Amino acid sequence: MCAMAGRKRSYLDHAATTPVDPAVVEAMLPYFGERWHNPSSIYVEAQLARQAIDESREAVAAAIGALAEEIVFTSSGSESDNLALRGVLAASAQRGRHIVTTAVEHHAVLDTAEQLERDGAELTIVGVEHDGRVDPAVVAAAVRPDTVLVSVMHANNEVGALNDIAAIAAQVHARNPHTAVHTDAVQSATHLGVDVHALGVDLLTLTAHKLYGPRGAGALYVRAGTPLLPQILGGGQEERRRAGTENTPAIVGFAAALRLAAKRRAADVAHERALQARLINELPRRVPLLGITGPRDLGLRLPGSVSAVVAFVEGESILLALDLAGIAASSGSACTTGSVEPSHVLVAMGVPGELARGSLRFTLGRVNTDADVDRLLEVLPPVVARMRALSPVAVEPPPGYLPWLDAPSLALAR
């Protein structure tokens, strides 16, 4: 541990949030300073703030192939997800109250859908494959004449599984052209870039803080003509779709971050893929009774995303030890970290509950280097070995664990 003193820490939790890029901070600063006025006011200073929001809206729209008027700025990805589900359902009462979503969505979608069900909506939650991906045909089969919304995430935040949203949207629309298709692209937007027409979606969620922008800025793309009722009422901002005085610095930072992401995408993705491949190949070789979760084919996996389960050790205990050794990582989504329940994503994939408690997630980003990967590969095996040595439980994995473990033998450790 002492050898670590003074060493830079390794941040391997980019799916939780990203550092704000200095160029983004630079772009935001004037709007904390001399351009602080309320963009809805009439005087010239306020109009400068209004202009900045208009330009940001154009930039966010251009980044995803949308029109400026199709972008609703919100405070977060969670708010955008809530607005998509609640707003479409509220506006579609004449046509039906049925919603379809999947068992691996972020809680911003899943909990909202479940609340809507308690409030009288009908809900179908479709399952996923063992790698966390959603079968488009299964989603389409759940669509009924009264289905008003289908919500399927683009990339899973815990296991990096990428969904074929274009196929899902096409099949859903073929079955019911009136069903709106929403995708949560919070995790994918920075790495993959998203184009709403290529994806064929009617609504799409973004958030700035996962793409080197600030917290406090999100957006919901709403295709022109999609029924949507506001869920926050008041001053009528965002063309009456979301009230609240605009967070000008955060919106400007969001647009700046998206522009930067587009410029850097090819280099960032190549870099993250290389580090990701090293971890996915090496972790099972170095840590006995470890299994990589999510797609093994990197083409089906979010760049930079590495997730695993480790048998007979609590993920949380490993994270604390990694933290002491200078590595910041997570056991699933940041929101479920700290909860005693195993991840709903792993459970939906079929991972046995006890094994799911040993889940780890490492998400790499721009700031990482091979040195961060080396450090994790050096630190993790002895941490796991130490914890297993302390544990009184038997370490023969039960048969239910075996399909999930890449390294099913303790002999590796010897």
Ligand X SMILES: Cc1ncc(COP(=O)(O)O)c(C=O)c1O
Q: Residue holding tokens 């040993």? A: 358
Exactly one of 157, 163, 237, 336 binds ligand X (CB under 6 A); which one?
Answer: 157
Q: CB neighbours of 310 closer than 8 A, spacing ≥ 6? A: 287, 289, 290, 318, 358, 359, 360, 384
From residue 86 to residue 125, the character string flagging contacts with ligand X as x (rule: CB under 6 A) and all else as - is: --------------------x-x-----------------
Q: Copy the structure tokens of residue 3.
A: 């050898």
- Which position among 335, 347, 387, 413 bears the catalytic label? 335
Q: Number of H helices and number of E strands within the chain?
A: 14, 12
Exactly one of 83, 162, 186, 355 binds ligand X (CB under 6 A); which one?
Answer: 186
Beta strands in 196-242 (DSSP E): 203-207, 218-222
Is 2 a residue of the active site?
no
Residue number closest to ligand X, CB atom: 77
Task: For the CB of residue 186, give the shortest distance to ligand X in the complex, in Å.
Answer: 4
Task: For the CB of residue 405, give the shortest distance to ligand X in the complex, in Å.
Answer: 26
Task: For the CB of residue 63, give the shortest distance to ligand X in the complex, in Å.
Answer: 17
CA 78/CA 173 separation, integer angstroms: 25
Residues 347 to 406 in contact with ligand X, rule: CB under 6 A: none
Exactly one of 53, 66, 110, 153 binds ligand X (CB under 6 A); which one?
Answer: 153
Q: If you compute the radius of gyration of the chain from its CA atoms, what whole number of angstroms results?
A: 22
Exactly one of 10, 82, 248, 333 binds ligand X (CB under 6 A); which one?
Answer: 333
CA 256/CA 204 separation, integer angstroms: 19
Exactly one of 76, 92, 305, 337 binds ligand X (CB under 6 A); which one?
Answer: 76
Residues in the chain: 414
Binding range to ligand X, per CB under 6 A, among 73-81, 270-278, 391-399, 400-408: 73-81
Q: What are phi and psi of 304, to 5 degrees?
A: 85, -10
Residues 192 to 231 in contact with ligand X, rule: CB under 6 A: 207, 209, 218
Query: What angle (nearest 5°) sits at the alpha carbon of residue 79, between those of residues 196 and 87?
Result: 70
Exactly one of 184, 238, 268, 372 binds ligand X (CB under 6 A); which one?
Answer: 184
Task: For the CB of residue 329, give the shortest distance to ligand X in the complex, in Å.
Answer: 15
Q: What are phi and psi of 207, to 5 degrees?
A: -145, 145
- Helices 248-286 and 44-63 cross at an angle (nearest 10°) of 30
CA 342/CA 8 separation, integer angstroms: 31
Task: For the CB of residue 206, give the shortest distance to ligand X in the complex, in Å.
Answer: 9
> What residue ranges bind ligand X (CB under 6 A)?
76-78, 81, 106, 108, 153, 157, 184, 186-187, 207, 209, 218, 333-334
What are the residue numbers of the active site? Answer: 335
